[in-house]
Amino acid sequence: MNINIDQLKKKIIYRSNYRGTKEMDKLLGAFVKKNINKLNNQDLIDLEKFLDIDDDNLYNFYNGLKTDYIFKKNNISLLFKNFKYSNEQ
């Protein structure tokens, strides 16, 4: 499979900042900004799929609440779960 990494990164950055809820725009935008240049190709593909999950389930997962979605155990879900959000990011 041939992937243009720069295009994929741009797509991920856009999708993380324009979610539908302001809270998730900020949280996911900050998460992606901090991590995008540290991720390998598979992580970027996993992150793109991760962004397909609805805001409610992502918010609940991040906060340790019950979700309707079963999250895959991969580097992205681990990084997101352990991400510390700060307004100063």
Residue 71 in domain? yes
Residue 86 in domain? no
The percent of residues above 90 in pLDDT, for the chain, comes to: 90
Report whether pLDDT(81) > 90: yes
For residue 53, the domain's CATH number is 1.10.150.250
Residue 89 in domain? no
Kindly provide the residue ranges of all beta strands, DSSP E only, lying in the chain, ordered along the sequence: none
* Structural domains of the chain, count: 1
22 lies in which domain range?
5-81
Q: Global pTM?
A: 0.91
Give how far Cα 31 sits from Cα of 5, 36, 46, 54, Å: 18, 8, 14, 16
Helix-then-strand count for the chain, H and E: 5, 0
**Which residues, 6 or more positions from 5, have their beta carbon under 8 angstroms from its beta carbon?**
41, 44
pLDDT per residue as tens digits for the range 26-58: 999 999 999 999 999 999 999 999 999 999 999
CA–chain centroid gap for 68, Å, is 17
